[in-house]
């Protein structure tokens, strides 16, 4: 038996990085997964080897109507929803003075509105299945500030506390739905590659980020995926409203 055998998951931001690694791990442990992303073609090609275990859909997490459609597709296709992983996110490295209102709203729309809408509509579907697990991707940047991360810090800090509110609401209602946040440090994904490419000396920038991690390396997608798998599975039945830090000791 896999650790999430028979469960149905919806993963956002599924075409890349942590979302893609999570889809692969959930499928390997027995789940069927709806992979939602703006980049549906990329998602289709990433998961074509997984056959009918993965169903790729276009989902813009900032759009309320996309969420309503996505949940309907999950229920029509697999009949239930047990796991929701809100991984879609964007990074913006700008300090508060350099951040335009447009920048601020764009980062908030994807990282915070997208997670809010996922929780809101995910709960509706999970209630029908008698429970479930919601996992929200925050960041160490949702716990500690950075001088050049104004909008990102605010959005990821928002995800941290939204998660706790959702967890308490679901517990109070007796829905059997748990909600937890995950807080990685820098992880080797296309998001990090894009960040390093903006540095004058990408190799030096990578070395500098690595020096901030006591365990002496950057994170890997599987480091985060395995935590998500634990939170998605019944092994974490007594864990809700928690913030799971995966940072090689960086914030310690």
Ligand X SMILES: NC(=O)c1ccc[n+]([C@@H]2O[C@H](COP(=O)([O-])OP(=O)(O)OC[C@H]3O[C@@H](n4cnc5c(N)ncnc54)[C@H](O)[C@@H]3O)[C@@H](O)[C@H]2O)c1
Residues assigned a catalytic role:
152
CA end-to-end span of the chain: 36
Please say whether the beta carbons of 141 and 153 come within 8 A.
yes
38 exposure class (CB count in 10 Å sphere: 0-12, 13-18, 19+): middle
Question: At its nearest, how many Å lie between ligand X and the CB of residue 150?
Answer: 15
Only one of the segments 2-10, 59-67, 92-100, 228-236 lies at the binding site for ligand X (rule: CB under 6 A); that segment is 59-67
Please list, in sequence order, all residues whose beta carbon lies within 8 angstroms of the beta carbon of residue 224, skipping any fewer than 6 positions away.
18, 21, 22, 182, 184, 187, 246
C-beta of 171 vs 243, nearer to ligand X? 243
For position 247 contacting ligand X by CB under 6 A, the verdict is no
C-beta of 108 vs 124, nearer to ligand X? 108
Question: At its nearest, how many Å lie between ligand X and the CB of residue 39?
Answer: 5
Rounded distance between C-alpha atoms, residue 154 and residue 229, angstroms: 26
- Phi-psi region for residue 187, left (φ > 0), alpha (ψ -120 to 50) or beta? beta
For residues 62 to 101, the per-residue mask of contacts with ligand X, x marking binding by CB under 6 A and - elsewhere, is x------------------------xxxxx----------
Which one of 4, 7, 19, 85 is in contact with ligand X (CB under 6 A)?
A: 19
Which of 218, 227, 225, 220 has the alpha carbon at shortest distance from 245? 227
For position 157 contacting ligand X by CB under 6 A, the verdict is no
For position 163 contacting ligand X by CB under 6 A, the verdict is no
Is 198 strand, coil or helix? coil
Which one of 6, 79, 146, 190 is in contact with ligand X (CB under 6 A)?
A: 190
Which one of 35, 84, 110, 177 is in contact with ligand X (CB under 6 A)?
A: 110
Mapping DSSP onto H, E and C, the string for 157-184 reads: HHHHHHHHHHHHHHHHHCCCEEEEEEEE
Size of the site for ligand X (CB under 6 A): 30
Question: At its nearest, how many Å lie between ligand X and the CB of residue 52?
Answer: 22
Binding region for ligand X (CB under 6 A): 12-13, 15-19, 37-39, 59-62, 87-91, 110, 114, 137, 139, 184, 186-187, 189-192
């Amino acid at each position: 038996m896999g650790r999430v055998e028979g469960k149905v998951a919806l993963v956002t931001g599924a075409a890349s990085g942590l979302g893609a690694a999570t889809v692969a791990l959930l499928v390997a442990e027995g789940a069927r997964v709806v992979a939602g992303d703006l980049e549906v073609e990329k998602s289709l090609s990433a998961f074509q080897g997984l056959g009918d275990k993965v169903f790729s859909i276009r989902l813009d997490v900032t759009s309320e109507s996309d969420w309503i459609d996505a949940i309907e597709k999950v229920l029509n296709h697999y009949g239930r929803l047990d796991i929701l992983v809100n991984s879609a996110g964007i990074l913006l490295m700008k300090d508060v003075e350099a951040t335009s209102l447009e920048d601020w709203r764009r980062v908030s729309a994807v990282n915070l509105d997208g997670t809010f809408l996922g929780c809101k509509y995910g709960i509706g579907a999970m209630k029908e299945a008698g429970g479930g697990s919601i996992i929200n991707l925050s960041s160490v940047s949702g716990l500690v500030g950075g001088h050049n991360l104004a909008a990102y810090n605010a959005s990821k800090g928002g995800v941290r506390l939204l998660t706790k509110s959702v967890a308490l609401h679901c517990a109070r209602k007796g829905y059997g739905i748990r909600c937890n946040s995950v807080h990685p440090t820098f992880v080797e994904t296309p998001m990090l590659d894009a960040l390093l490419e903006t540095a004058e000396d990408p190799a030096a920038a990578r070395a500098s980020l690595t020096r901030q991690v006591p365990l002496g390396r950057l994170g890997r997608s599987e480091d985060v995926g395995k935590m998500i798998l634990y939170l998605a599975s019944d092994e974490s039945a007594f864990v809700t409203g928690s913030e799971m830090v995966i940072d090689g000791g960086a914030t310690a």
